[in-house]
A = this chain, B = another copy of it.
Amino acid sequence: MLDMDNEAFMEQLEELVERKRWPELRDILVQLEPADIAQIMDDLPEDRLPLLYRLLPKELAAEVFVEMEGSQQELLIKSFSDTELKEVLDELYVDDTVDIVEEMPANVVKRILQHADPETRKSINEILKYPEDSAGSIMTTEFVDLKKDMTVEAAIKRIRRTGMDKETINICYVTDPNRKLLGIVSIRTLLLSDEEDIIEDIMDPNVVSVNTLEDKEDVAQDFNRYGFIALPVVDTENRLVGIVTFDDAMGVMEEEATEDIEKMAAILPTDKPYLRSGVLETVKSRIPWLLLLMLSATLSGIVINRFEDSLAAYSVLIGFIPMLTGTGGNSGSQSSVAVIRGLSLNEIDFSDLPAVVWKESRVAVVCGVILACANFVKLLVVDRWLMGNEEVTFVIAMVICLTLVCTVFCAKVVGCTLPLLAEKLGLDPAVMASPFITTIVDVLSLLIYFTFATLLLGL
């Protein structure tokens, strides 16, 4: 792999660019992977881009183009002559073209569609019809289809003739005259069979397929579950309309994991790499939750104000508020995050609610008791005995430890229930993560704290 941190290498390239040593540059670039070349082009001055790009051989150029950032692609398309644009488009797979079309402004899209060949244009328009995040929107229409009465020899001939333009030839799809999907056969099976074998006899008729409208996240999960190289996408009448390949599924998996992580940290999902998104963009993705959570924290304030007078009498209680709300928040977010991840990975669903709550309750009791004991010892031995803090009495320690047990219990039960409820209601469970739970648990833990204080200290 190219070590992109290798500054010496980048400096060498930059020098070659400055000194206009194009043939040498070309010789270096063609040895690299498309993704790496795209990153290099990204890091070089923009005005050099079209020139540098034209150094690449046609096929590699198209592969590099796919890997570039939208803004760079736009810049290049604008610099292309009509013939150049047509050449690049001819080399691209349909799903990649669609990805590009989706990011470009209207005038660029128009130019792309004008120069795509009629069949590609039809495919692009078809894929664009599918809702964002659906299997249809990420599929490609370029797959190898075979007929069930072909011999292996005829099938291999067909692959040799048409395979060049297909995204993958590793899995071939057997369809009937109405394009209904009958089975799949891998290139490995084809190669390991006799030339006279009939496709129908060697194909696997038990095909896992996905519907065009299926969520792309579920499609990615299927890939991970079954280890497929490609999955066929069918319409409601089981007609094969496209395939999704594993590399697209990997992209989706990573994207979804990032989105989940962002939501759990109260960030609205963005689809740009960290350093590429502008300050205002970042602010926009962060400020809504911050505002909402800040205002909802007012509730905690109200609870505290209610008990202001009692707190004035036992001011030692105030110092333990951050520890209690913090521990409650952490306990709750542990449960919510575990459940949210289980939901994303399809390990659990709403019907598991009783099992989940039962498990979390037992975990909560054990955790709560351990934390309370640790705290009890700390309060009486460290605070009272060693530090000589006379305000920390046995009763105060009891209030704090009882609060801990109850808070951890409530936090864990709330933490595991809310994501499941969200899922049931069709909301995104991930937003029920840490920050949201924390705000609720803050209020709960304060209420529990002051209740025990009132009961045991007679406030």
Binding site for B on A (CB under 8 A): 1, 5, 30-35, 156, 159-160, 163-164, 169-170, 187-188, 191-192, 206, 208-210, 222-227, 229, 246-247, 249-251, 253-254, 257-258, 260-262, 264-267, 273-275, 279-280, 282-283, 286-287, 289-291, 293-295, 297-298, 300-302, 304-305, 308, 311-312, 315-316, 318-323, 325-327, 329-331, 333-334, 336-339, 341-342, 345, 347-349, 351-352, 355-356, 359, 362-363, 366-367, 370-371, 374-375, 378, 433-435, 438-439, 442, 446
Contacts and interface: CB of A to CB of B under 8 A. Distances in A.
Nearest to A438: B326
A265 B438 contact: no
Contact of A334 (B164, B286, B329): B286
Given A275-B359, A286-B363, A333 B434 contact: yes
B304 A322 contact: yes
B280 A366 contact: yes
A321 B378 CA distance: 24
B229 A229 contact: yes
B435 A294 contact: no
B434 A293 contact: no
B275 A356 contact: yes
A356 B275 CA distance: 7
Contacts of A345: 254, 258, 273
Given A293-B327, A367-B287, A192 B170 contact: no
A22 to B, nearest CB: 20
Contact of A322 (B222, B226, B321, B378): B321
A362 B375 CA distance: 40
Most B-side CB within 10 Å, residue of A31, A225, A265, A305: A265
Contact of A319 (B210, B257, B279, B302): B302
Nearest to A325: B322
Contacts of A433: 265
Nearest to A324: B297
A374 B374 CA distance: 40
A375 B294 contact: yes
B290 A327 contact: yes
A342 B304 contact: no
A275 B352 contact: yes
A323 B208 CA distance: 51
Given A1-B209, A265-B337, 20 more contacts: A33-B206, A160-B191, A170-B187, A170-B188, A227-B247, A246-B247, A250-B250, A265-B336, A267-B338, A275-B347, A275-B355, A275-B356, A279-B366, A282-B363, A290-B331, A304-B318, A312-B315, A321-B322, A322-B446, A333-B435
B265 A226 contact: no
B342 A273 contact: yes
Most B-side CB within 10 Å, residue of A192, A273, A294, A315: A294
Nearest to A254: B224
B283 A363 contact: yes
18 contacts: A1-B208, A32-B206, A33-B208, A163-B188, A246-B246, A254-B257, A261-B337, A274-B341, A275-B342, A275-B348, A279-B363, A286-B334, A287-B366, A289-B330, A290-B331, A290-B371, A298-B323, A326-B439
